[in-house]
Amino acid sequence: MAKLGMGVVGVGTMGRQHAQNIRRLTPQAQLLAIADVALKRAQQVASELEIEHAYNNVEALVERRDIQAVVVATPAKFHGATMRVCAQAGKDIFCEKPFTLTIEEADELLEVIGRAGVRVQVGHVRRYDPPNVNAKKRIEAGEIGDPVIFKSLARDPAPPPVSYMASGVNGMFFQDSTVHEFDLGRWLMNDEIAEIHAYGGVLVFPEIAQFNDIDSALVNMKFSRGTLGAVENYMQSGYGYDVRTEIVGSKGTIITGYLQRTAEVVLTATGAKTDVVDHFLVRFADGYLNEMCDFVQTILADRQPNVDAFDGRQAVAVAAAAERSYREERVVTVANRARSSRAA
C-alpha cells in the first residue's frame, strides 16, 4: 500500500495539531519533516513527535523527494508565499484557513496552483465536524425539505493576545474568524453567498480599535438562489468556545454544536451545573483529524480535494464583502467568480 510522505510548515497551535494527527494516520501517512522559521520550535515538536527532520525554511523541506504533500500552517499572511514554493516544487498542499487574506492574492494563487497542477485542500474544518457531516447528508437526503435559512454563531472564549492582533499577519475578524462560517454556509446551502449586510463593533475589547479591527459581528446574507443566512461572530464569550449552527428547512431544522464538555452534571442547592467546551481544539478534535485523514486519502487516491482552493477563494471573497459592508455601512455584493475547470 502507498504511504504518503508529508511535511508540516509552521508549528504553532494548528501546525502542531496537524502534525500529531498525521502521526495517527498510520500506515497511510508518514510525517517526515517539520519546518518553522523558529528552528528551535521545529526541533522541539520534531523531537516530541519523533520526527527525524527539522528545518527553518520551507525551501529546504520541499527539496525532500520523499515528501509529496505539505501542510501549510504559517500565519495567514504567509500562506500565499509558502504555497507558491510548495506548488512550484510539485507538492500537494493542505492549507490552513483562510486561504489568503485578499481576493487578489487568492486569484493569483489559483493561477499558480492551476499551472503547477498540484492539489490543494483548505482547512475549513467545520465541514469535517461529525454533526455537520451528518447535517449535510440529511439535507441532501431531503430530511428537512428545502434548506432556506442558514444560521451559525462562533464565539471565542477571550480575545487573542494583543501581540497576535498587532502582528498584522492574520487579517481582520471577518477574514481570520468569520470566514469559517461563510464557508460552512456555502457548503451546507450548496450555493454561493451573493450579498451581505454586516454590522460590527468594538463592544468588549477596546484595545482592538487601534488595529482598525472589531470584536463582534452580525452578518445578514442572501444566497444566489434567494435563501437567507445570518452569522454571529464574537470574540469574548466569557464562558468558552461556542460554535453552533442551524439549517432551517421547509420541513424541519438541524441544529449542530454543543456546549457541555464533560458528561457530568452537578446538582446542588445552587442548581444544576455542567462545564463548557473551552477551546477549539476540543470542539473540533474530530474535525481536525477527519480533515487530515480525508486529505491523505484524497491525495493517495489521486482525487480532487473536497474543500479546494476555489472554495478557499470564495470564502475570502465573502469575508472581503463583509468587511466592506461594515466599513461602508451598506449592503454589498460579493465578488464571486465561477469555478473554472482548471483552477484547483
The residues in 123-182 that bind its own copies, with binding defined as CB under 8 A, are 129-131, 134-135, 138, 143-146, 148-149, 151, 153, 155
Identity of the residue, 220 or 297, whose beta carbon is nearer to its own copies in the bound complex? 220
331 binds its own copies (CB under 8 A): yes
Q: Does 50 bind its own copies (CB under 8 A)?
A: yes
Nearest to 317 by CA among 306, 328, 305, 332: 332
CB of 313 to its own copies, least distance (A): 25
Find the binder of its own copies among 167, 304, 329, 333 (CB under 8 A).
Answer: 329
Q: Among residues 212, 222, 213, 190, which one has the least CA distance to residue 318?
A: 222
The reply on whether position 255 binds its own copies by CB under 8 A is yes
Rg (CA), the chain: 20
Looking at beta carbons only, is 99 or 174 nearer to its own copies? 174
Q: Which is nearer to its own copies, 51 or 320 (CB)?
A: 51
Task: Give the residue, chosen from 207, 210, 258, 342, that forms a contact with its own copies under the rule CB under 8 A.
Answer: 258
Q: Minimum distance from CB of 285 to its own copies (Å)?
A: 10
- Least gap, CB of 75 to its own copies (angstroms): 27
Quick note: the x/- pattern for its own copies over 222-251, rule CB under 8 A, is: x---xxxxx-x-x-xxxxx-x-----xxxx
Which amino acid, one-letter code, is at 69? A
- Which residue, among 175, 178, 284, has the nearest Cα to 231 in the 3D structure? 178
Interface residue with its own copies among 190, 253, 333, 340 (CB under 8 A) is 253
Q: Would you count residue 272 as binding its own copies (CB under 8 A)?
A: yes
Q: Which residues contact 103 (CB under 8 A, 6 or more apart)?
A: 313, 316, 317, 320, 335
Transcribe 275-332 into DSSP letters: -----HHHHTHHHHHHHHHHHHHHHHTT---SSBHHHHHHHHHHHHHHHHHHHHTS-E
Q: Which is nearer to its own copies, 107 or 286 (CB)?
A: 286
Judge contact between 136 and 177, C-beta under 8 A. no
Nearer to its own copies by Cβ, of 303 and 330: the residue is 330
Q: Which of 141, 267, 301, 338 binds its own copies (CB under 8 A)?
A: 267
Q: Pick the binder of its own copies from 141, 263, 301, 338 (CB under 8 A).
A: 263
Closest CB 70 distance from its own copies, rounded Å = 22
Total number of residues that touch its own copies (CB under 8 A): 79
Strands 29-35 and 193-201: unpaired
Answer yes or no: are the C-beta atoms of 179 and 319 closer than 8 Å.
Answer: yes
Q: How far is the CB of 228 from its own copies (least distance, A)?
A: 5
Q: Closest CB to its own copies among 207 and 329?
A: 329
Residues 1-40 that bind its own copies (CB under 8 A): 23-24, 26-27
Report angle CA 73, 320, 139 to the nearest 5 degrees.
80
Report how far residue 56's alpha carbon sits from residue 112's, in angstroms, rounded to the nearest whole number: 24
Residues 6+ apart with CB under 8 A from 65: none
- Asked if 191 touches its own copies (CB under 8 A), the answer is no
Distance between CA atoms of 99 and 77, rounded to whole angstroms?
Answer: 10
